[in-house]
Chains A and B, each alone.
Chain A
Amino acid sequence: MDNVLLLSRLQFAFTISFHYIYPPLSIGLGVVLVVLEGLWLKTKRPLYHQLARFWTKVFALTFAMGVATGIVMEFEFGTNWATYSRYVGDIFGSALAAEGIFAFFLESGFLAVLLFGWDRVGPKLHFFATCMVALGAHFSAVWIIVANSWQQTPAGYHIVGEGISARAEVTDFWAMVFNPSTVERLTHTLGGAWLAGATLVASVGSFYVLRGRHRDFARVSIKVGLALCLAVSLFQLFTGHGSAVVVAEHQPAKLAAFEGHYETGPAPLYLAGWVDGKNGTTRGVAVPGMLSWLVHGDSTKPVTGLNEFKPADRPPVNFVFQTYHAMIAIGFALIGLSALGVFFWWRGVLLEKRWFLWLLVFAVLGPQLANQLGWWSAEVGRQPWIVYGLLRTSDGLSKVVRSEMIVTSLVLFTLVYTLLFALFVYLLNDKISHGPDESDLLEAGKLGLPKHES
């Protein structure tokens, strides 16, 4: 049984982490596309049209990967976590079904117009379709975060039945939807997704400047990317803080693990450190009382420590501590980087700072890493619970699935995903090195520039 638990968790962690490379890009690039097409409609500059066309193609690639790997996630709740599915079907299932009806249909339906409708509909209807695709991507984030947040901070339910037939049933739908952590976690997740899109655009733009290609295209890409990046990375300070306060209130063991805080009392905030889980100590560079101040607004107030929880009820502390701190470090680095970029831009020297442009090229990895690390700390920090305080992860497994079956599927997914990732990187790289299509700038281009309705 232990093997089944380990393998099921490993498979879920692997497949969800791989999946989560793509949806943030779809959400972030969705916003970028709305901005670019909006600018094009407003200014009628062909350059914006060219940008929108280029990023649409990249969007299509990330979207296809997101769809292909996303359907795996929906299946896995049933295949590997059948007991959990029975327990939460009433609640989690409704959120998932709502995601299908309100988000996925919208997104994939209008995607047809976004990708293939350039010469079939007018620019305004095309812009509308782009907005609907972006909206659909955001709706899908809303519903999946509702479902996930309910696992973190359950609300609006009661438990019916006992023992193996116990299950959670909805008592108050809106309390379930707006459970205590939904809003904070949603804004923070969306921010991470916008950053993924913004840095990708800035990174490709910088690459073109460094290579001396597509100057106009590159300049606009960098500016749109940097401006979004600065605004959103500052926004993440607030949403991140909001999330942590909710965690402090509703999931004290997780907050204590974030900061490696064992003894209840005034708590420091670590900049970096190492947790010795065996002896229950944490060493590192810390600001005394800072965590208490952030949580309570008073540096002397106590924060619940891990010693209040039985060892069996604690998450793996050092893993959660490290992933959480790495995420924060990346967040601050992004603020610094984008602020410096905007400063250079204001001084008019941005395009001459080659070292800085190289930094921007690699900045695309920042949000991707931070998104992964943040989710790892959030989900591992919830352990040992699959539904916080209600159902243990080890009790949520499928009873009929044996370890050799999971080994089979895990090997299968590892092979398939490795291949897919290699192909994705190859095609993305190919797309970027080809660059934007110059004929998109001309009235007499291959398809011609769509005409404005007057």
Chain B
Amino acid sequence: MPDLNTIWFILVGVLFTGYALLDGFDLGVGALHLIARTDEDRRVFLNAIGPVWDGNEVWLVTGGGALFAAFPMVYATVFSGFYLAFMLLLVALIFRAVAIEFRSKQPMKWWRTMWDYAFAGGSILSSFLIGVAMGNIAWGVPLDAQHEFAGTFLGMLNPYALLMGFTTAALFAMHGAIYLLMKTEGELHDRLRKWINPAIINFVVLYVIFTLATLLYVPHITEAIKHEPWFFGVVVAAVLAIANIPRCVTLGRDFQAFLSSCGTMVCLMALFGVGMFPNLVFSHPSPENSLNIYNAASSQKTLGIMLTIAVIGIPIVLAYSVSIYWIFRGKVKLGKMSY
């Protein structure tokens, strides 16, 4: 039986993975939004995510809350350390959220174009910044003896973190394209099918470069992974999942393609988790100042209470979330209440 700290490492990971799987596709739809040329196509895109996007964003809010509760030192250090990056992320998230709601409220062309740009720009910037933040956490950030961030905003824009930012944006775009396949029909669906391969290639190329960079330049992750031989099974699973996507698309099994894309993301998050464990924020250049699941955690009592809350809450959330996705299954039909 793993200890409470390990369980919470996994649970926080699960919440952020849920966020990546769900908000990942609606951020991806945002990234592709401007490629759709006509107002009707863009409306289809928005209505494909319309009923679910803000529920998806709740995974981020809850993940953040769980991080605050279980590992307050990480929450405090990362959020104050990444101050300007997170402020930009907030502005990006605000603009894409209100763009979805505001766009349909007026028919003027300039109005709709303005919100199209806000939605696409906000989505791309959010995906990119989330990747940059994860890249910094993996690469390591300078922490002092009190575990306070000792770096700078510009220091966060190092090549490795930027690479992870681009990779994340590419991953979400691919995921979003596959989601749109499930939600569209007819001529738009045919056009979207042609976007899938470029989206996959774009992601795979970036991901291969990113993996090489990790193996060459991030020894603490490489070491951690060497200690867990089953890790190679996850790598193989990730590769198979990616390879399965074009196969499913060719066969017209859009839902299976989406599941494969989800599987890819789960594998990648698992690798990230194995690579980091037991650290939550790696300190570079002074690894002894790293925040890990013990020196960053809340009391055992709180971790226990939180586990009870999670055990009660998460199954209920999953049950009605699945029901709601079921209610809104099938292709998008534009109607009176649509965006």
A residues touching B (Cβ–Cβ < 8 Å)?
60-61, 63-65, 67-72, 74-75, 77-80, 82-83, 85-86, 88-94, 96-102, 104-106, 108-113, 115-121, 132, 160, 164, 167, 169-171, 173, 398-401, 405, 408-409, 412, 416, 420, 423, 427, 430-431, 446-447
Please give the distance in Å from A433's CB to the nearest CB on chain B. 13
B61 at the interface (CB under 8 A from A): yes
How distant is the Cα of A134 from the Cα of B146 in the complex, in angstroms? 43
B9 to chain A, nearest CB (A): 15
Q: Report which residue of B55, B77, B83, B95 has the largest number of chain A beta carbons within 10 angstroms of its beta carbon.
A: B83
Q: Are A420 and B98 in contact (CB under 8 A)?
A: yes
Contact B87 A170 (CB under 8 A): no
Q: Which of B57, B61, B301, B327 meets A120, CB within 8 Å?
A: B327
B78 x A78 contact (CB < 8 A)? yes
Residues of chain B within 8 A of A101, CB atoms compared: 62, 65, 309-310, 313-314, 317
Known A75-B64, A90-B299, A101-B62: A80·B98 in contact at CB below 8 Å:
no
Answer yes or no: B305 CB below 8 A from chain A CBs: yes
Query: Given the complex of chains A and B, what is the CA–CA distance between A111 and B305 in angstroms?
Result: 29
Q: Find B65's partner among A74, A80, A121 (CB 8 Å cutoff).
A: A74
In the complex, given contacts A100-B62, A170-B305, what are 16 additional A-B residue pairs having Cβ atoms less than 8 angstroms apart? Answer: A64-B100, A74-B68, A75-B64, A75-B86, A89-B72, A90-B298, A97-B66, A100-B58, A101-B313, A101-B317, A102-B313, A105-B321, A116-B328, A400-B150, A427-B105, A430-B106
Number of interface residues of B (CB under 8 A): 67
Assembled-state Cα–Cα distance A132/B98 (Å): 23
Residues of B within 8 A of A69 (CB): 94
Contact between chains at B337 and A447 (CB < 8 Å): yes
Residue numbers in A under 8 Å from B73 (CB-CB): 86, 89
Q: Is B232 part of the contact surface with A, judged by Cβ < 8 Å? A: no
CA–CA, A401 to B84, complex, Å?
9
A86 touches B72 (CB 8 A): yes
The 9 closest A-B pairs by CB, nearest first: A89-B72, A78-B79, A100-B62, A93-B69, A112-B51, A93-B68, A101-B313, A97-B65, A398-B80
Contacts known (A90-B299, A401-B80, A446-B336); A97 close to B306, Cβ less than 8 A: yes
Which residues of chain B from 47 to 68 have any CB-CB distance to chain A below 8 Å in the complex? Answer: 50-52, 54-55, 57-58, 60-62, 64-68
Beta-carbon contact of B57 and A67 below 8 Å: yes
**B93 beta carbon closer than 8 Å to chain A:** yes
Closest-CB distance, B253 to chain A (whole angstroms) = 24
A94 in contact with B98 (CB, 8 Å): no
Whether A89 touches B305, Cβ cut-off 8 Å, given contacts A71-B57, A79-B83, is no
| Residues of B with C-beta under 8 A to A65 | 98
- Chain B nearest CB, measured from A267 CB (Å): 40
Alpha-carbon distance between A135 and B76 when the two chains are bound, in angstroms: 31
Chain A contacts for B160, CB-based, 8 A: none
Residue picked from A78, A171, A399, most chain B C-beta under 10 Å: A78
- Docked pose: A77 CA to B72 CA in angstroms: 11
CB-defined A-B contacts under 8 Å, sample of 23: A65-B98, A67-B97, A78-B75, A78-B78, A78-B79, A82-B76, A86-B72, A90-B299, A91-B302, A93-B302, A94-B309, A96-B68, A96-B69, A102-B313, A106-B317, A108-B55, A110-B324, A113-B51, A113-B327, A171-B301, A405-B84, A412-B87, A430-B105
How many Å lie between the Cα of A132 and that of B55 in the bound state? 14
Kindly list chain A residues whose C-beta atoms are within 8 Å of the C-beta of B338.
Answer: 116
Contact with A along B289-301 (1 / 0, CB 8 A): 0000000001101
Query: Cβ of B30 < 8 Å from any Cβ of A?
Result: no
Residues of B within 8 A of A (CB): 50-52, 54-55, 57-58, 60-62, 64-73, 75-81, 83-84, 86-87, 90-91, 93-95, 97-98, 100-102, 105-106, 146, 148-150, 298-299, 301-302, 305-306, 309-310, 313-314, 317, 320-321, 324, 327-328, 335-338
Bound Cα distance from A427 to B57, whole angstroms:
24
A116 touches which one: B70, B78, B337 (CB < 8 A)? B337
Tell me the bound Cα distance from A104 to B148 in angstroms.
31
Q: Are B328 and A68 in contact (CB under 8 A)?
A: no
Q: Are A83 and B84 in contact (CB under 8 A)?
A: no
A88 CA to B327 CA, complexed, in Å: 40
Give chain B's interface secondary structure class: helix
A401 vs chain B, min Cβ distance (A)? 5
Contacts A118-B337, A169-B298, A400-B149; A75 near B79 (Cβ below 8 A): yes
In whole angstroms, how far apart are the Cα atoms of A64 and B101 in the complex?
A: 7
CB distance from B228 to the nearest CB of A (A): 29
Shortest Cβ distance from residue A146 to the other chain B in the assembled complex, whole angstroms: 13
State whether B149 touches A68 (Cβ < 8 A): no
Which of A105, A110, A412: most chain B Cβ within 10 A?
A105
The answer to whether residues A420 and B94 also contact, given A94-B309, A108-B54 and a CB cut-off of 8 A, is yes
Do A90 and B302 form a contact, CB below 8 Å, given A101-B310, A109-B321?
A: yes
> Could you say which residues of chain A place their CB within 8 Å of the CB of B55?
105, 108-109, 111-112
B337–A115 CB distance below 8 A: yes
Which residues of the partner chain B approach A164 to less than 8 Å between Cβ atoms?
146
- Given A61-B101, A110-B324, A116-B50, decide whether A94 and B90 contact each other with a Cβ distance below 8 A: no
For B86, what are the chain A residues with a Cβ–Cβ distance below 8 Å?
75, 79
In this complex, the member of A79, A118, A401 whose beta carbon has the largest number of chain B beta carbons within 10 angstroms is A79
Tell me the complex Cα distance, A333–B91, Å: 38
User: Smallest Cβ distance from B148 to chain A, in angstroms?
Assistant: 5
| Smallest Cβ-Cβ distance to A80: which chain B residue | B80
Q: What A residues does B60 contact at CB under 8 A?
A: 71
- The CA-CA distance from A275 to B182 in the complex, in Å, is 65
Residue of B nearest to A169 (CB): B299
Q: Which residue of B lies closest to A428 (CB)?
A: B105
Give the chain A neighbours of B66 by CB distance below 8 A: 97, 100
Closest to A430 in B: B105
* B310 contacts across to A, CB distance below 8 A: 101
Instruction: State the CA gap A118–B51 with chains docked (Å).
Output: 12
A68 with B94, Cβ < 8 A, contacts A79-B86, A90-B72 known: yes
CB of A54, distance to nearest CB on chain B (Å): 12
Contact B84 A408 (CB under 8 A): yes
Q: In the complex, how many angstroms separate the beta carbon of B25 from the nearest chain A beta carbon?
A: 15
Complex contacts, A68 vs chain B, CB 8 Å: 93-94, 97-98
Return chain A residues, CB-CB under 8 Å to B91: 412, 416
Q: Which residues of A contact B78 (CB under 8 A)?
A: 78
CA distance A379 to B330 in the complex (A): 48
CA separation between A67 and B150, bound complex, in Å?
32
Measured in the bound complex, the distance between the Cα atoms of B300 and A90 in whole Å is 10
- Contact indicator A401/B83 (Cβ below 8 Å): yes
The residue from B62, B81, B84, B90 contacting A75, defined by CB atoms under 8 A apart: B90
Q: Is the CB of B324 within 8 A of A112?
A: yes
Chain A residue contacts of B61, Cβ below 8 A: 70-71, 74, 100, 104
With a cutoff of 8 Å between Cβ atoms, the chain A residues found around residue B68 in the complex are 74, 77-78, 85, 89, 92-93, 96-97
Closest residue to B320 on the A side, CB-wise? A109
Determine the residue in chain A with the shortest Cβ distance to B144: A400
Q: In the bound complex, what is the Cα–Cα distance between A104 and B70 (angstroms)?
A: 19
